[in-house]
Structure 1
Amino acid sequence: MSDDKTKTGQADRARINLSEDYEVRDWAEKFGVTQEALRRAAERVGPMAEDVRRELDGK
């Protein structure tokens, strides 16, 4: 099932969906990292954007 882009809310903004290329691209750009670095960080700490940001800042 694909992401329903008409239903957005806090949960959507707080979580990185690694199955959606546009989300990986947008979050990587927001954090100033490569898409691969974003994926590795999310695999280590989970999909929550704040956790990924902290992981990337610690590197």
Structure 2
Amino acid sequence: MPDDPNKRGPQDRTRINVNEPHEVRYWTQTLGVTEAQLRSAVAAAGVEVKDVRVYLGKP
């Protein structure tokens, strides 16, 4: 089932999909980072939220 762009958060809260604008908005606000920082973290650490949090130093 495709993501519903009207939903505020991601369908799967364990992964970050930087190809979905609503997920980028959600995760940048949730993690307190810029879009560039989020994309860089996902490129370096992968799509798992726990790995991105560790990479960014966010609890």
Query: With structure 1 as the length reference, what TM-score do the two structures score?
Result: 0.77
**RMSD over aligned Cα, in angstroms?**
2.2
Aligned partner of residue 13 in structure 2, secondary structure: helix
Cα shift at 1:43: 0.2
User: For structure 1, which runs of at least 5 residues remain unmatched after alignment?
Assistant: none
Shift of 1:25: 1.1
Normalising by structure 2, what TM-score? 0.77
Point out 4+ residue stretches in structure 1 off by more than 4 angstroms: none
1:6-39 Cα shifts (integer Å, max 9, x gaps): xx4xxx1100011101101110110101011000
Task: Report the counterpart of residue 21 of structure 1 in structure 2.
Answer: 21
Distance, in Å, in 1 between the alignment partners of 2:24 and 2:34 is: 9
